[in-house]
Amino acid sequence: MVLDLENVTLKRDDVQILQNINWQIEQGEHWVLYGLNGSGKTALLDIINAYNFPTSGKATVLGLTFGKVYLGEELRKRIGFVSASLQGKIYQTDNAFEVVLSGAFASIGLYQTPTDEMREKASGLLEELGCIGYANREYGTLSQGERQRVLIARALMADPSILILDEPTNGLDFIAREQLLDSIEKLANKANSPTIIYVTHHIEEILPVFSKTMLLKSGEVYASGQTNQIITSEILTNYFNIPVHVRWENDRPYLVKNK
Ligand SMILES: Nc1ncnc2c1ncn2[C@@H]1O[C@H](COP(=O)(O)OP(=O)(O)O)[C@@H](O)[C@H]1O
Ligand SMILES: [Mg+2]
């Protein structure tokens, strides 16, 4: 079991942010975590990352159960995380190669001397993510899509068991988005891929490789299970409280609002 959340709740200043979350992720599964703005996605990810501690319930991530000892640091070495907040922390003048290398040390910026092996691995990841053409460019000069690729390569430097992509297509145009999704699909289909948790509020980004989906609404699990049983016109009409229709094209769902 990669993740096991049992009745997890999170309260802050008397506000119930998450309620009775149950979520089990098995080895080899890739999941979409879907929810509207403010539904609690980031709060939930912060529990998985051990930045938030459940107010009640039980959280076990990669076999480590929170509560007895503080496990955050040990855990975070095994979880790759790509998010908007990480994006903002990277030094603009570091080149793409250095940004990827820094992932081996889990640092922002490069302070230790990387081994030849690390350099080779970073090159391989830049190649795999399609970034080799701008390996020597400063991070600050890269487009949004190029930055996301570099950050995914950086996250993979540490061979994480879980890779969390928190809204990775934000700010991308159609072409850049589809190209990034192609890379994510390739990665997810590899035999040694980490378990991917793909966080989004766009239905059309749910790739076939994400066979499981969790719908979060107002801090609660609204529905969770096989993607094709969750992403249906009926469930989403109730979820949004407006009539919608799901159309599948090439194994991907598209959402249409009914008149
Ligand atoms: N530290 C906090 N104290 C109080 N409320 C918070 C705190 N962190 C998040 N929230 C609230 O919890 C809800 C869920 O937030 P968040 O997890 O960021 O949603 P999402 O990532 O799905 O957009 C929001 O209503 C947000 O305002
Ligand atoms: Mg969020």
Please give the number of the atom of ligand 1 that sits closest to the Cα of 201: 22
> To the nearest whole number, what is the mean pLDDT of the chain?
94
Q: Which residue has the least CA distance to atom 25 on ligand 1?
A: 38
| Band of pLDDT at residue 69, cut at 50, 70 and 90 | low
Ligand 2: distance of its center to the CA of 175 in Å? 23
Burial of 160 per CB tally in 10 Å (0-12, 13-18, 19+)? buried
User: Taking the CB of residue 127, how many other CB atoms lie within 10 A of it?
Assistant: 13
Residue 144 φ/ψ, nearest 5 degrees: -55, -45
Ligand 1: distance of its center to the CA of 15 in Å? 9
Ligand 1: distance of its center to the CA of 175 in Å? 31
What percent of the chain shows pLDDT beyond 90?
88
Ligand 2: distance of its center to the CA of 99 in Å? 23
Q: Which residue has the least CA distance to atom 3 on ligand 1?
A: 12
Closest ligand by atom to 83 CA? 2
Q: How much is the average pLDDT of 105-122?
A: 93
Find out whether the beta carbon of 13 lies less than 6 Å from any atom of ligand 1: yes
Residue from 248, 48, 68, 16 nearest 165 by CA: 48
Q: What is the pLDDT of residues 13-54, one digit of tens each?
A: 999 999 999 999 999 999 999 999 999 999 999 999 988 899
Contact 52, 19 (CB under 8 A): no
What are the counts of helices (DSSP H) followed by strands (DSSP E) for the chain? Answer: 9, 12
Q: Which of 34, 42, 199 to mutate to test the pocket of ligand 1 (most atoms within 8 A of CB)?
A: 42
Please report the pLDDT score of residue 247 as a whole number.
97
Q: What share of the chain is helix, strand, coil (3-state, %, to 5)?
A: 35, 30, 35
- The yes-or-no verdict on residue 184 having pLDDT over 80 is yes
Please report the pLDDT score of residue 70 as a whole number.
64
Please give the number of the atom of ligand 1 that sits closest to the Cα of 166: 21
Find out whether the beta carbon of 12 lies less than 6 Å from any atom of ligand 1: yes
pTM: 0.94
Whole-angstrom distance, CA of residue 193 vs CA of residue 205: 19
Ligand 2: distance of its center to the CA of 40 in Å? 7
